[in-house]
Amino acid sequence: MDRYLSSKLWKQTAEKHSILLDEPPEQSVRTIALSELQEEAACAAYVEWFREYIDAPDKRVAASMLAKRIGYLWTAPLVKAMTFHQQQVSFDLRSSFLYHPVLADPSMTRFPFLAVHALQSESLLNNRSSKRKKAVEEMFGSQLSPLLQMLSTVSSLPMSILWENIMVRIGPLYAPDADNVEQPNPHIQADFSYLTQEAPGTAFDQRKNPFTRFTTCENDIPVAKSERITCCFYYQMSDEYCRKCPKIDTENKSQLK
């Protein structure tokens, strides 16, 4: 394993995002490789199982919840490594697994965790622009986009919802008051601008950059919108709306309780 992947920085990032740097536990309730989620039959079977397991009302809600979880487990830590640690971390999707541990008590989440091994990393310190382009194309265009497209296919959920579910996981990393902004980093604004404004749709295997519509400009600087454009259906899984939900009636404060 290279220096970064054995470093405290990466291990802390993995722990924060519920990544197990090993094989999935043998006694897991269910395990599925990320690569299998790019295959229609396997993806459809898993989404239907996941719907029943989390007691979601339908497959659209289940797929939306799953995409948000994937954004937290997979996309956010890789983006964090890229911008804040100057590293492109690559997951082999065949060796990366969503797994559901055996519930030790009823309070444990039924949402999946991520187990990965066979990782690789590459420093972005030299030729950063070209390496960043390569990292984004691999992370989003080659790996994540086909998975989101399959989730959309098997659940009839619009891609816009799935992409915004990813955006709400990576946007906070670049917020001016983010916890991980401990010291001046010239790449924070540059990377967010690239991800949301400058990167072409082809970098995401899409016709247009899917993140652009979820940003706004403040003092000519792109930032994530404070309110969602699409609804992720969180309110159908909880007794409250998420705080960015476009369905919230701001006059009805009880919706936020």
Q: Considering the chain, what percentage of its residues have pLDDT values greater than 90?
A: 77
Residue 15 above 90 pLDDT?
yes
> Could you tell me which of 228, 255, 252 has the C-alpha nearest to residue 64?
228
pLDDT grade for 178, boundaries at 50, 70 and 90: low
Burial, 106: exposed, middle or buried (Cβ in 10 Å; 0-12, 13-18, 19+)?
A: exposed
Q: Does pTM surpass 0.75?
A: yes
pLDDT grade for 221, boundaries at 50, 70 and 90: confident
Q: Read off the pLDDT of residues 58-96 as tens digits, 9 standing for 90 and up.
A: 999 999 999 999 999 999 999 999 999 999 999 999 999
Provide the CA 135 distance to its chain's centre, in angstroms.
15
Higher pLDDT, 177 or 146: 146
Residue 148: CB atoms within 10 A of its CB come to 27
Measured distance CA(140)–CA(150) in Å, rounded: 14
- Token pair 């001046």 is found at 184
Helices and strands of the chain, counted as H and E runs: 8, 8
What is the sign, positive or negative, of the torsion defined by CA atoms of 56, 228, 184, 139?
positive
Q: Which of 50-54, 160-164, 167-171, 180-184 has the lowest mean pLDDT?
A: 180-184
Residue 60: CB atoms within 10 A of its CB come to 20
